Structure 1
Amino acid sequence: MSAHAPPLRGRPRRAITRITRGLLFAVALALPVTLTGCKDEQPPPPQKVAPLEPIPAPAGLLAEVFVPNPDEAWAKARAAVGGPALFLPSNAGNLAVTLLGLPLAVSTEIDGNLPLVGALVERTGGGRPRSAMGIHVRDAGKVESLLVKGENARFQIRVDEKTSITLLEPKDGGARSIVIGLLGNYLLFAQETADLLDVGPYVARTLPTAKMPKADVAFELPREALGGPIEKGLRSSWESLRPRPRPGATAEGGKAPTPVPSPLNGLVDALLGILVELDHARITLDFDDRAAHLRLLGTPREGSAGASNLAAMTVGDPRRLLELPADTDIAVYLQDSSKSRTTDAKKYADALAAAMGKDVPEDDRAALSAALVAVAEGRGDSFTAGVSLLSTGPAIYARSDVADEGKLDEALGNLLGLAKRKSFASWLGQNEIEVSTGKTVLENLPGDIRRIRLARVDGKDDKGKKDEKASKDRKDKPAASLEGVPSTIDVLYMLGKDGLVLAGGYDAKAAFRTILESPGKENLSGRAEAKSAVAAVGDKTAFVAFVDPLRLLNRRAGKADLGPSAPVVFALGKGGEGVGANDPWMRLDVANLAIQELVKRRGAL
């Protein structure tokens, strides 16, 4: 592994994007073993070149890129993507010369069985990172000869004295989108000559001597990059996705409102805080006959605050997500501690009170906070939820462990009772919502089933009268279509031996019956692809997001045949097979069928 680089500076917010592009470019250069020409033709043996002395990492190193076996990696990626990828050149030499604009004769000199390596480096002053990649050639002298000799030669050579890189430049002096050079037995390429000269020596001299990962493609991320541009890029991306307060809301004193918290908010914020203090991280990309697998594995720095936070993180087995109804196409699993839930509950109370405005009485604020905290304390550590788009309309399902049934029952009653308080009723009226509670009965289902009814009503002022100004404001703004949406939607829930069971939707009773019966009847475990994708995550998981995009798209199109299951699963957690007990990880698994369908639909999305 290379030495650590100095602390990073600048504004490289596009580091993650560039890393991703570098990854795709690296994979695109990794090709199957089969070379063009006759079957019996054997490639020339590699030219023996004296090993080059390794050099230290350049300042501002963001990532090192490794494709240990480009032939194998590209063969897998090409099969996974299918479609247009099958029209791309099928071997390392042909694809490399196509991308680099080189004569076809050079293709036989490219060795796709030896590592493709690269590096990304922070640019002074910020902006696009500098990068260079290197692919192994069998005989650098022959490559040079093929490019610069003969009547049709389009290149001339210039040796850089400082780096000893042989630059291959157009004879006509024109500019190329990719600059190339040779050093040792590596053909180097970059977007600019300065990048090739600054980063190329490290790529050709040092990276080939590193211990190669087992993954098809891997990125090694040093501590300085994790705590600098990568952390900034991830945090910026998360801020753009984080749930926001409603437009126009202001906190007391005219300040910006508190962002709406959620268990996922707290989890991601904690992980971003941990990321800064990691000693090292590795991103890998692997392909198999079913899916593409993207992984991030971190190594925490001993004694850091991040290591302590990781030790406190709770994890569990997400396979209970498979107990959700069989028609579930979007689902989440969450494992969190009472402490983290309580912290989030207090943030929820602050955010909701801020959204309601500065006139919320202090006792109402206190009642809201107390109710939310009590719900957090009464709920258990494990929670699952799912969404289905049925012929009768959308349905939601949820299950939760319960730590204290009596406390949770009372807390839910207190929370729903807040709707009767003047400040809450007024705020709900301004948002055209009316909340009522009661009980209901389902045939052959014993137990105390509670009902929460959400009704759409005209806006009301704080005295319960129709708010004409609010109505006019709404008329002046384009409203979302409500065609087919009922004026009331019920949410049913029950506390008992199965914990908290909840369902809602256009046909709440049918949804509730389905979630109540699904553990012993039809559920997600009956879909083999979904079962294997969730089980592969392991039992050391804090969060899982599951979506079956093909079935979802077919449901929206009204198709009776939903087709095969092709799940996409995102998960995060710590520990597990082959890693330290407190080593954090993230993973994204995308079924090949989903990749192929999304590529096919790219023009229509």
Structure 2
Amino acid sequence: MRSPLRALSALAFALALAGAACSKCGEQAGEDAGARALEPPVPAPASLLADVYVTSPNSSWSKIQRGVGGAVGILPASAGGIVCAMVGLEPAVANEVDGTAPLFGVVAGDPAAPGFALAMKLSDLRKARALLVDGDTARYSPREVAGLTELVPKGEEAPSKDAPRLAIGVTKGSYLVVASNADELAKLGPYVTRTLPTRPLPEGGAIVVDVPRASIASVLKPKVEELWEGAKAYLLAEDARVRRDRGRAPDFGDPAAIVAAVDAYAVERIAVLADLEKMRIDIDVVDDGVVIDARMVPLASGGPARVWTDAMTTGDTAPIVSLPATSAVAALLRDGEAQRVEGLRGFEKGIASSLGARLAEADGKKLHDVVEGWIKAGPSTLSASLFWDEPRGLFLRAAVRDADAAAIAMKGALDLLRASPFKDGLQLKEIATANEDVSGVGKVSVATLLREPKRDDDKGGRRRVADDAGAPATKKESAAIAWLADGAKAFSIGAGEEPLPILRGGIKPDKKIGDEPALVRPLKALGSNASSVLVIQPLRFDPRRAELPAAPVVVALGRRDKDAFLRIDVANGVLRELARWQMGL
């Protein structure tokens, strides 16, 4: 079992890589601008996934320590110290690691379990070797492999195949190399120490991860296809097994049809991935967290990636900023007219094909009318909020073209739930509707969905007996939905056991996301380029941490300068609690 210090050091090193502070972008890599490698460069590995450049490791780690604080503050103060703690080297070796020089990395192999190698510059190779292999108290023996010196723990004949250790080496060019195992040290060490240092440091974030075209086409795309084909085969095999065991088709939905519908979507997304020219991931530390920004550049041929990128509908974050600041999760989705119509009709087709003959002709007509009603309503923007405090529930708000059409479609959807197989599949007993006047909101429609009672069994499979006449205990289950046309161009829904407080809290929150500075900063950085945004406040899911200062994770997909981007902001508060969890605190 790893010690808490070793575990936290590994986490801290990952954070340091994820947060390098850019101070030397555009300079030549190596000891000095224009310096040449002592040994000739070597070709990139055939299974290359990504090249990694970190401009100033010490500056990165310093910002992480100041921002995260807490348990991270007890760790070594330099990037070299973190590396040495992670791999178990003597602290004195850290003094010989130049944390002001760039760090280089490479990731290669199977994307599901990749290998890696990292290289940091040594200030004095002779001193480092004396500490590691040449001195009387050195704990390692040298072994020459692939033009570098692997450091093998004395007394070790061979690393365990079941639990391979990290491999360590030094080079004639004064680099300390850490690799995922001895094989990767030999395969990737020469590339990370002799090729990457000869390249100019890329502009952008202080840590830059470059995924080239060859990696996308030859490694990533085949792996994603393999994973999806395996998932499809598993789902279809499970469907066949259930049919054999039960002697009949599933009670609700045809898994084969569902897989076919999902397959079409998956194939489209894989085609987008395969059509990318490159991906570049910039990672930086800001005052209150870490920012990861991935830029996806389509090929110039105008293929699926370009079509997908150009079809994005982008805008500002105003719809999500108006949601409650207490949202455990808040989301914003945008669609253009063509994408919205295609998506809704694809949804209709998927439902109809999955139900097959179980969907009566009249019910199929109802389904079609509901879909056409939503198309007429024209919801261009959808925002959502998950309430995790009591009462729990979900709030939805759509910017629509026709609020009355949305209300009609909502009633049609509820009427459709009364029809088999929806009623049977959801085990609905009845749907009761009513209208209520809600203070400050207006006249609200409410539908209560009552489910058939379930009998509770104990773990031994016997029914739990109630005190009254020995009758089996039952549990009454219900959920409710409240909705209203909130103005001519908005339609709002609250769902949960108590939908009215949820609806009111979503429309008129006591405090909005826009009132909380920690939530505003990452949203403001998106400008008017966001297509989809997800704001997660992980600490709100833990009652012990729910009252801590706001600490969001913000994920956004959009288009910037004709390229697609995926941006992730992680607050220091989340990193701090992650470090505590890693320490077992």
TM-score class normalised by the smaller sequence: 0.7 to 0.9
- The percentage of aligned residue pairs carrying the same residue is 25
Q: Residue 354 of structure 1: CA displacement?
A: 4.8
2:4 aligns to what? none
Pair 1:515 & 2:506 matched: yes
Residue correspondences, number: 537
Pair 1:548 & 2:537 matched: yes
Q: Residue 409 of structure 1: CA displacement?
A: 4.0
Q: Map 1:100-119; keep pairs closer than 5 Å.
A: 100-119=87-106
Please say if residues 440 and 450 of structure 1, whose CA atoms lie closer than 8 Å, have aligned partners that are also in contact.
yes
Q: Residue 63 of structure 1: CA displacement?
A: 0.9
- 2:201 match: secondary structure: coil
Q: Residue 62 of structure 1: CA displacement?
A: 0.9
TM-score using structure 1 length: 0.76
Q: Which amino acid aligns with 2:78?
A: N
2:490 to 499, 502, 523: 499
TM-score using structure 2 length: 0.78
Q: Distance in 1 between matches of 2:558 and 2:18?
A: 31
1:449 aligns to what? 444
Q: Residue 336 of structure 1: CA displacement?
A: 1.0
Please say if residues 325 and 514 of structure 1, whose CA atoms lie closer than 8 Å, have aligned partners that are also in contact.
yes
Q: Which amino acid aligns with 1:113?
A: T
Q: Map 1:192-203; keep pairs closer than 5 Å.
A: 192-203=181-192
Cα deviation, 1:208-244, whole Å, max 9, x if unaligned, reads: 1223244243321112322454356667599989xx9
2:220 aligns to what? 230
1:96 aligns to what? 83
Pair 1:592 & 2:575 matched: no
2:62 aligns to what? 75
Q: CA RMSD in A?
A: 4.2
Please say if residues 61 and 120 of structure 1, whose CA atoms lie closer than 8 Å, have aligned partners that are also in contact.
yes
**Cα–Cα, structure 1 residues 297 and 547, in superposed 2: closer, same or farther, change >3 Å?**
same
- 1:110 match: secondary structure: coil
Q: Distance in 2 between matches of 1:186 and 1:604?
A: 34
Q: Residue 302 of structure 1: CA displacement?
A: 0.7
Q: Residue 310 of structure 1: CA displacement?
A: 1.1
1:41 aligns to what? none
1:165 aligns to what? 148
- 2:137 match: secondary structure: coil
Q: Distance in 1 between matches of 2:20 and 2:377?
A: 56
Pair 1:395 & 2:393 matched: yes
Deviates more, 1:104-113 or 1:199-208: 104-113
1:467 aligns to what? none
Deviates more, 1:100-109 or 1:586-595: 100-109
2:557 aligns to what? 572
Q: Residue 51 of structure 1: CA displacement?
A: 4.1
Please say if residues 481 and 493 of structure 2, whose CA atoms lie closer than 8 Å, have aligned partners that are also in contact.
no
Q: Which amino acid aligns with 2:435?
A: T
Q: Residue 385 of structure 1: CA displacement?
A: 1.1
**Cα–Cα, structure 1 residues 501 and 173, in superposed 2: closer, same or farther, change >3 Å?**
closer
Q: Map 1:81-230; keep pairs closer than 5 Å.
A: 81-122=68-109, 128-160=113-145, 163-170=146-153, 172=155, 174-175=157-158, 177=165, 178-213=167-202, 214-230=204-220
1:258 aligns to what? 258
User: Which residues of structure 1 form unaligned runs of 5+?
Assistant: 1-20, 34-44, 460-469
Q: Map 1:144-543; keep pairs closer than 5 Å.
A: 144-160=129-145, 163-170=146-153, 172=155, 174-175=157-158, 177=165, 178-213=167-202, 214-231=204-221, 236=227, 250=250, 256-259=256-259, 272-303=270-301, 304-354=303-353, 356=355, 358-391=357-390, 393-420=391-418, 424-425=419-420, 427-434=422-429, 436=431, 438-442=433-437, 449-458=444-453, 487-494=478-485, 496-518=487-509, 522-543=511-532
Q: Which amino acid aligns with 2:307?
A: S
Q: Residue 386 of structure 1: CA displacement?
A: 0.7
Q: Residue 436 of structure 1: CA displacement?
A: 3.5
**Cα–Cα, structure 1 residues 258 and 67, in superposed 2: closer, same or farther, change >3 Å?**
same
Please say if residues 67 and 116 of structure 1, whose CA atoms lie closer than 8 Å, have aligned partners that are also in contact.
yes
**Cα–Cα, structure 1 residues 319 and 187, in superposed 2: closer, same or farther, change >3 Å?**
same
**Cα–Cα, structure 1 residues 132 and 224, in superposed 2: closer, same or farther, change >3 Å?**
same
**Cα–Cα, structure 1 residues 234 and 495, in superposed 2: closer, same or farther, change >3 Å?**
farther
Q: Residue 319 of structure 1: CA displacement?
A: 2.6
Q: Distance in 2 between matches of 1:29 and 1:330?
A: 27
Deviates more, 1:499-508 or 1:61-70: 499-508
Q: Residue 375 of structure 1: CA displacement?
A: 0.7
Please say if residues 26 and 116 of structure 1, whose CA atoms lie closer than 8 Å, have aligned partners that are also in contact.
no
Cα deviation, 1:106-140, whole Å, max 9, x if unaligned, reads: 333211111111212226xx974343221101232
Q: Distance in 1 between matches of 2:17 and 2:379?
A: 49
Q: Residue 502 of structure 1: CA displacement?
A: 1.9
Q: Distance in 2 between matches of 1:254 and 1:137?
A: 61
Q: Which amino acid aligns with 1:500?
A: F
Please say if residues 30 and 116 of structure 1, whose CA atoms lie closer than 8 Å, have aligned partners that are also in contact.
no
1:16 aligns to what? none
Please say if residues 253 and 355 of structure 2, whose CA atoms lie closer than 8 Å, have aligned partners that are also in contact.
no
User: Which residues of structure 2 form unaligned runs of 5+?
Assistant: 1-8, 22-30, 160-164, 243-248, 465-472
Q: Distance in 2 between matches of 1:28 and 1:529?
A: 22
Q: Residue 361 of structure 1: CA displacement?
A: 2.1
- 2:183 match: secondary structure: helix
Q: Distance in 2 between matches of 1:312 and 1:30?
A: 31
